[in-house]
Amino acid sequence: MTTESPALPCSEIPSSPPSASVRRSPAAIVAAVCLAALVLPLSFSGGALATPAIGAYFNGSPLALNWITNAFMLTFGSCLMAAGTLADRYGRKRIFICGIAGFTLLTLLIALAPGLIALNVLRAVQGLAAAAALAGGSAALAQEFEGHARTRVFSLMGTVFGIGLAFGPLSSGVLIDRFGWRAVFCVPLLFGLASLLLGLRYLRETVNPQASRVDWGGILSFTAMLALLTTGLLEAPARGWSAPVTLALLAAALLSLSLFIAIERRIAEPMLDLRLFRFPAFVGVQLLPVATCFCFVVLLVLLPIRFIGIEGRSPMAAGVLMIALSAPILVMPAVAVWLSGRLPAGLISGVGLLVAGVGLLWLGQVEVGASAAAILPPMLLTGIGAGLPWGLMDGLSVSVVPREQAGMASGIFSTIRVAGEGVSLALVSAALSYLIAASLPPAALHLQTASGMAPAAQGLAIGDMSNALSQGWSALQLQQVYQGAFRSLSEGLALLTIASALAVFWFLRGGTVARS
């Protein structure tokens, strides 16, 4: 999720004279930003793994529990480009420090949250802080290093992010098992505090005097579109896809998108230059983060819920199993970079998506409660496939457009990646609830009404079997229903991933454009 800011060092000026309190230490600067990058996947995977425990503790509704992850991803994705613009205009260090300080404080408040509503609101504000930390930190690194050194530090940043993805579920599982769900937020708190202290001491302030003005119209309309779309997708399982509220939310999201496009076409300095979509390769690159959302990111949330809520495994056991999916992110990006010296990047990325699609099809066939020997191979294959485009798409995002548009292309790519994660999670959660509701048999103890069916299906989708059990279904029936729904969902995700692979082959068949 980290991208390089390609702004030229000669266009940058310090916002204040060098101070004795700010020391030039490249290692400390890299450590400050990399620690911030580490807490983001830890917060994401920790919140996902803790969802069943949080639901049991607060007795929360399925909709409220879905917002534990979606609230964070929604604000994070919608504000990332805006945070980058603010960092260029008002100072990279200032935005980074505000972001990581806010993130750290909010992490503490989340650990102390008295209720589910408060927790979700704090998660949403935490997403804003995460956007500031990531955008400010990436821009600060880009100004501290040049050439090959810049490439190496951003590669290290990506590796650190992979470490967070790989071992976040395991560390979260251990903490939940031993200390409860609140302990999950203590590890990001410690790393965030260390990042803050290093950043205050060693980062220098820089601004871009040629930074464009803030496109508030674009920011507000884009954020409104994401918020309305995500809310509509999450409300649909409970209210129905044809319910007036659902249709109104989705229609409002479409209207906000139309408004956003109109603003970006007319404004002199848009947040998103729509002309970039004239480049077929640019369109192909934007498909890569969307595809990895559906073949990898959503599984980081779905599988812990299945392991803990449906299969009854402990959080620590679920975290151990999740290593098979996430550990390849540590290795495969380096393999992809090595292969890119011999094969086209588009070919490598497309093949990786095909492999991930096969892994998803295999994963859907594994029965609920199957042994680790049955579930680990398809998870590993899916992670290996997703890891190939993961290692190339950040570089591709700025290599397929003219050099003078590389900065905006990088911001667009990052926004599509993070916003896509939030939307894909909402869409997949809604689809799983719908598939479960369509398969639930009549309750054995009493007639089941349509209004009662939706809460049972939603609860089962987030791993809460208690509601459905209380309405007359047996645990075996519910596991069988979940298995069928999960199989259908996996097949749908596999088809999306394979279709994305074919589209990537097509759009990236010509390689990169000539750089000016």
Q: How far apart are CA 142 and CA 368, in angstroms?
A: 47
pLDDT at 514: 40
List, as one string, the DSSP characters of 225-245.
HHHHHHHHHHHHHHH-TTSHH
3-state SS, 28-52, equals: HHHHHHHHHHHHHHHHHHHHHHHHH
- 80 Cβ contact list (under 8 Å, min separation 6): 131, 134, 135, 411, 414, 415, 418, 419
Q: What are the residue ranges spanned by the domains of the chain?
A: 20-205, 272-510
pLDDT confidence tier of residue 498, bands split at 50, 70 and 90? very high
pLDDT of residue 491: 96
Residue 151: per-residue pLDDT = 66
Q: What does the alpha-carbon distance between residue 139 and residue 84 come to, in Å, rounded to a whole number?
A: 8
**pLDDT tens column, 277-299:** 877 888 888 899 999 999 998 99
pLDDT at residue 45, as a whole number: 74
Query: Of the candidates 96, 75, 100, which has an alpha carbon nearest to the alpha carbon of residue 219?
Result: 75
What is the Cα–Cα distance from 496 to 36, expressed in whole angstroms? Answer: 32
Q: What is the pTM of this model?
A: 0.81
Contact, 292 vs 254, CB < 8 A?
Answer: no
20-205 with 272-510: one CATH topology?
A: yes
- Decide if 3 contacts 37 (C-beta within 8 A): no
Query: 477 CB contacts (<8 Å, ≥6 apart)?
Result: 441
Q: 272-510 sits in which CATH class?
A: mainly alpha
Provide CB contacts within 8 A for 8, sequence distance 6+: none
Beta-carbon contacts of residue 52 (< 8 Å; ≥ 6 apart): 304, 305, 308, 309, 315, 462, 463, 464
Topology of the domain covering 20-205? Growth Hormone; Chain: A; (1.20.1250)
Four-residue CA torsion sign, 56, 59, 65, 71:
negative
pLDDT in tens, 111-162: 999 999 999 999 999 989 998 998 888 888 877 877 677 767 777 777 787 7
